[in-house]
Structure 1
Amino acid sequence: MSNNKEWHLANVWESVADAMPDEAAVTLGDRTISWREYDERAARLAKVLIDGGLKPGAKVAIYSYNSIEYLEAQYAAFKARLVPINVNYRYLEGELAHVFNNSDSEAIVFQASFAPRIAAIRDQLESAKLFVEIDDGSGEHLDGALRYEEAIADVEPMERIERSGDDIYMLYTGGTTGLPKGVMYDHRTFTTALIGKAMMLRELPFPETPDGLGPVIKGLAAAGFRPKSLPSCPLMHGTGMWVGVTIPHSLGGHIVLEDNRSFDPDGLLQLIQDSKAREIVIVGDVFAKPMIKALHAAKGRSEPYDLSNLMMINSSGVMFSAEAKQGLLEFADVTIFDSMGSTEGSMGTSISNRETIGGSQTGKFQLSPTTKIFTEDGREVEPGSGEVGLICNGGMVPIGYYKDEKKSAETFKTINGVRYSVPGDFATLEADGTITLLGRGSGCINSGGEKIFPEEVEEAIKSHDQIVDCLVVGVPDDRFGECVTAVFSTDGGGEIADADMKSHVRSKLADYKAPRHYVKVDRVPRADNGKADYKTAKSLALTQLGLD
């Protein structure tokens, strides 16, 4: 049996299972499993993977919607010192084959409804030798695949083993790096950074080893503060998994899952009420604005949702406007944690509640202690100087991108003897030590020699009462090289004249940043995790403007 001395997620969760075996671990619909069941089922699946020939360090792709089996498969991989690979369930055959092959996945745990898609690319898979199929009621089946429940019933649970904090944890991301790439951390760095920050915010003592977690989480539960987390975004992305599962699980928490195939604000609000969730994870304005609309509608029909148990709303990775935060705080007396960062690392946090929201500004964050702003030539930006620099995150810095030394060297840099993650986000450093996020350099629009960051313009446009969502892109222009173009959607009310939009933006930003073109669409293109799909937005703009 492992003595849980190393900081490793498997060791952490085994300590939780030992400390509170009969408490709920995961719920989906009317099914709940305890920590004892969770630990045993994961150990059985770990044995299936080992019996299938996988050795420590081998990769296990998880291709599933939000499900209990998704979390069991991840836990099983950790137990056997394997590396779980998150797979975007929206990918088509070519993208799937890339992720499976690029990650060297030797096993694929998948929901049966995806069997036809795997069958279509099976002859292209270079490393996959074990397929484990989760029955999802679809009636689909992949020839030769093990059936999940039958497979774990036929083996004894894997014995606990010694593990190393140097074992690799990896999350695939496609948000900022072109083709999907695996961002690698070691378990020690990843686990202590995430859990350490969560415990610090709760003023809990951080133990020297995972063995010491038991008394801490028992005390948290006894005080009535055991986490009950509802990640409303996909587990296949870092926001849902890290904030919605990894942190609360490591504090002994209970995870409440929902069917996440499409976002239903009323369904989410009903689940928050019924489950008595204490914290939820959403994706900025993309989730918040429809939730606010649903809350007003429910209040209008005298059927308000009961959010009295909710204590925390988390969001990460996308813009979360001050107006949307204020709208949620009208209905829920909570603390809102808005984290700025990406799969490559967290950079800063904005914390809001009913007392502080009046002074909140969109895109303004308190820097993490290990984060600095440097100019592109390596000078540290002075607070209040107005100089624009790159956000450089220290502390929880990835090892690199899997099998991509070039991109790793470009993103993870040593400056003045300190290693930083530099994914390309620009910001200014204010006199009070906060930062104002401007946007990612790769999306910067050059119009007449002026650099314009799309995110800054998007937030100005989204502050209009009738705008639901917006992305800003550059399109070709004979005079200026590029001109700023807004691709936006409305709340379905009356039409908004371009002149009114321009006037609204110009009241908030310099004139040269105001879009020259406004392209209305039914739905602004975004991935399931809320990340902007600028490529599709630009294509829509070019088509509507007759420039394609």
Structure 2
Amino acid sequence: MTLNLATLFEAVAAAVPGRLALVCGDRRATFAELDRRADAAAHRLRVAGIAPGEHVGVHMLNSAEYVETLLGCLKARAVPVNVNYRYTDRELRHIYTDAELAGLVVDAEFAPAAARVAGDCRALRHVAVVGTDGEAPAWPPQVDVTVYDADGTEPDPSLREGRSADDRYILYTGGTTGLPKGVVWRHEDFYMAAVKGGNPYGDPHLTAESLAAAARDGFALSYMLTMPLMHGAATYTLLMSLFTGSTTVLMRRFDPVEALDLIERERPVIVTVVGDAIARPLADAIRAHGAGRDLSSFKVLGSGGAILSRSVQEEFAELIPGLHVSNGFGASESGVDGNISVGEDGLMRLAAGPRVTVVDTDMRPVPPGSGEIGHVARSGHVPLGYHNDPVKTARTFPVIGGTRWSILGDMARVEADGTIVVLGRGSGCVNTGGEKVFPEEVEQALKSHPAVMDALVAGVPDDRFGERVAAVVELRPGTTAAAEDLRAHCRAHLAGYKIPALVTFTPIVRSPSGKADYRWAKRVLTEPTA
């Protein structure tokens, strides 16, 4: 049996059919029920003429329908494409056309935006709308529009024909700069790298039978996802939960107080977030409202897609004694690469592994203890490339000596003991008078100030130094701090040239997944105010 994502899920569902698989709002589904509805979603895609290998956009908030559609695409051998529901028309037009969508499943509230750009997507011919939200928009004439329905069909045995470990999965990533890029994975590579072979704590399961047996006989956990499923880290967690036979509790939209209600009611063991942008409001909610709720099931805080600051980790340790924090490091282009620890010195350290290393521009490993800075790189189960972008594919996913690599945007050096010190994204590095400053290090220092809720750091033009370090800072409600207060605080953590010369106070804008939007930060810091 091949390592195909649909086949793996079906094996687990057959092993634990009566176990609760999914909770979202008032919807609850066992593994057997979720499998049946995903079968129906797959069947309707086939009836609509969506062929194996064609791309289907998933443009929705978190919901049971999102999970059914994702699994249904995999079952039908269609390629699911995640769509960020906060994208502007320009960004939506790019992703719809770049991904060459043949099908689309969209929430009714996003249907007007989808309809506005659908005419430019020549391949699009089938749209299923989930729910109702006012007057239906006008779609182009070539598009067949139906109401989403995953009920009332018999299992379709033909869906299981032709499946392969080589079937495709595409994950679009906006990153922190540029237009979204579609990362193309083989199912087997995605399973091994992004879902850790169905075993977060040990060796991967190399057959569907082994995975199903572990789900049936192992200790079932429960996960609560606070972040949107269109974000890679959330999809990784969803599939990890499903493949381990665990219960997944989805928040449709993140609200910190509602999150506490869900923890008390659904009793998740693991709560997942995307960095401080979600974790800090959750910590504030626990401090303000946690005393009246039973949060005793909450044993693990997991973060992916953005690094938790040391200050937030210390706050959770105070609020929930004994809580384990998993600070995941990874990317859409590499999967899950390990866990980050943030030391008292503010540096982010990643344990070296057999598949993760730091390489120079000639793809040679950076010598430990040399102080040389290179790129974090991963080999083995990595993506095939970017959809429709051979130039970026050759740069990010080179094949050297028969081995495919993923060269990440993160810069790092290697300590004498082999530990990788992650410095930050090279694309955001500030060059001030020849000195290199990585925004993440300055952000960590700023966020350790008790009045700071969030911070983004970017370079702004400077006549003398070329660039200078600047910061957009959002303060916690009910607190005050001046720019000089923050600079004085940073002097205890950073070299003088790294201290922000300019500080602007305003609510931070991030992506719905919690990722930093450095383009927005640069605009705020450089454009004159009215």
Q: Is this a same-fold pair by TM over 0.5? A: yes
- Give matches, 1:208-357, under 5 Å: 208-220=206-218, 225-243=219-237, 245-260=238-253, 263-298=254-289, 302-303=291-292, 305-332=293-320, 333-346=322-335, 348-350=337-339
Residue 44 of structure 1 corresponds to: 40
SS at structure 2 position matched to 1:437 = strand
- Alignment pair present for 1:532 and 2:516: yes
- Alignment pair present for 1:141 and 2:155: no
User: What CA distance in whole angstroms lies between the structure 2 residues aligned with 1:413 and 1:148?
Assistant: 41
Give the 3 Å change call, closer, same or farther, for CA 154–358 of structure 1 in structure 2.
Answer: closer
SS at structure 1 position matched to 2:199 = helix
SS at structure 1 position matched to 2:408 = coil
SS at structure 2 position matched to 1:48 = helix
User: What CA distance in whole angstroms lies between the structure 2 residues aligned with 1:271 and 1:381?
Assistant: 46
One-letter amino acid of the counterpart of residue 52, structure 1: A
One-letter amino acid of the counterpart of residue 252, structure 1: G
Q: Which runs of 5+ in 1 are unaligned?
A: none
- Give matches, 1:447-526, under 5 Å: 447-521=432-506, 523-526=507-510
User: What CA distance in whole angstroms lies between the structure 2 residues aligned with 1:177 and 1:358?
Assistant: 28
| Segments of 4+ moved more than 6 angstroms | 357-360
One-letter amino acid of the counterpart of residue 214, structure 1: A
Give the 3 Å change call, closer, same or farther, for CA 25–52 of structure 1 in structure 2.
Answer: same
Give the 3 Å change call, closer, same or farther, for CA 153–498 of structure 1 in structure 2.
Answer: closer
Task: List per-residue Cα deviations over 1:343-402 (Å, max 9, x = no partner).
Answer: 0114643377xxxx9979552222333111122344422223322221111233110000
User: What CA distance in whole angstroms lies between the structure 1 residues aligned with 2:340 and 2:361?
Assistant: 29
- Residues 346 and 393 of structure 1 are in contact (CA less than 8 Å); yes or no, is this contact kept in structure 2? no
Higher relative contact order (CA 8 A, sep 6+): 2
Residue 525 of structure 2 corresponds to: 541
User: What CA distance in whole angstroms lies between the structure 2 residues aligned with 1:414 and 1:509?
Assistant: 39
One-letter amino acid of the counterpart of residue 209, structure 1: T
- Residues 112 and 142 of structure 1 are in contact (CA less than 8 Å); yes or no, is this contact kept in structure 2? no
Q: Relative to structure 2, which stretch is displaced further, 453-462 or 192-201? A: 192-201
SS at structure 1 position matched to 2:376 = strand
Task: List per-residue Cα deviations over 1:473-524 (Å, max 9, x = no partner).
Answer: 1111111111111111111345323332222212211111111111111x11
User: What CA distance in whole angstroms lies between the structure 2 residues aligned with 1:360 and 1:252?
Assistant: 39
One-letter amino acid of the counterpart of residue 220, structure 2: R
Q: Tell me the CA shift for residue 529 of structure 1.
A: 1.0
Task: List per-residue Cα deviations over 1:289-318 (Å, max 9, x = no partner).
Answer: 11222222125xx52x32211232211121
Give the 3 Å change call, closer, same or farther, for CA 208–463 of structure 1 in structure 2.
Answer: closer
Q: Tell me the CA shift for residue 111 of structure 1.
A: 1.1
Q: Tell me the CA shift for residue 415 of structure 1.
A: 5.0
User: What CA distance in whole angstroms lies between the structure 2 residues aligned with 1:272 and 1:427?
Assistant: 37
User: What CA distance in whole angstroms lies between the structure 2 residues aligned with 1:323 and 1:176?
Assistant: 23
Give the 3 Å change call, closer, same or farther, for CA 254–514 of structure 1 in structure 2.
Answer: same
Q: Tell me the CA shift for residue 158 of structure 1.
A: 2.1
Residue 180 of structure 1 corresponds to: 180
Q: Which residue, out of 76, 90, 96, partners 1:94?
A: 90
- Residues 270 and 299 of structure 2 are in contact (CA less than 8 Å); yes or no, is this contact kept in structure 1? yes
Task: List per-residue Cα deviations over 1:120-174 (Å, max 9, x = no partner).
Answer: 2232221111111111x5244356521112xx44643322413110111110111
One-letter amino acid of the counterpart of residue 459, structure 2: G
Q: Tell me the CA shift for residue 435 of structure 1.
A: 1.9
- Give matches, 1:303-452, under 5 Å: 303=292, 305-332=293-320, 333-346=322-335, 348-350=337-339, 363-414=348-399, 418-452=403-437
User: What CA distance in whole angstroms lies between the structure 2 residues aligned with 1:212 and 1:231?
Assistant: 26
- Residues 348 and 367 of structure 1 are in contact (CA less than 8 Å); yes or no, is this contact kept in structure 2? no
One-letter amino acid of the counterpart of residue 171, structure 1: L
- Residues 226 and 273 of structure 2 are in contact (CA less than 8 Å); yes or no, is this contact kept in structure 1? yes
- Residues 320 and 362 of structure 1 are in contact (CA less than 8 Å); yes or no, is this contact kept in structure 2? no
Residue 141 of structure 2 corresponds to: none
Task: List per-residue Cα deviations over 1:236-275 (Å, max 9, x = no partner).
Answer: 01011112x0111011121111121xx3211112211111
Give the 3 Å change call, closer, same or farther, for CA 141–228 of structure 1 in structure 2.
Answer: farther
Give the 3 Å change call, closer, same or farther, for CA 82–98 of structure 1 in structure 2.
Answer: same
Residue 122 of structure 1 corresponds to: 118
User: What CA distance in whole angstroms lies between the structure 2 residues aligned with 1:179 and 1:422?
Assistant: 19
TM-score (normalizing by structure 1): 0.90
One-letter amino acid of the counterpart of residue 323, structure 1: S
Give the 3 Å change call, closer, same or farther, for CA 103–514 of structure 1 in structure 2.
Answer: same
Q: Which runs of 5+ in 2 are unaligned?
A: 139-143
Superposed CA RMSD in Å reads 2.2
One-letter amino acid of the counterpart of residue 438, structure 2: F
SS at structure 2 position matched to 1:422 = strand
User: What CA distance in whole angstroms lies between the structure 1 residues aligned with 2:511 and 2:43?
Assistant: 35
Task: List per-residue Cα deviations over 1:381-429 (Å, max 9, x = no partner).
Answer: 2223322221111233110000100001111124566432112211121
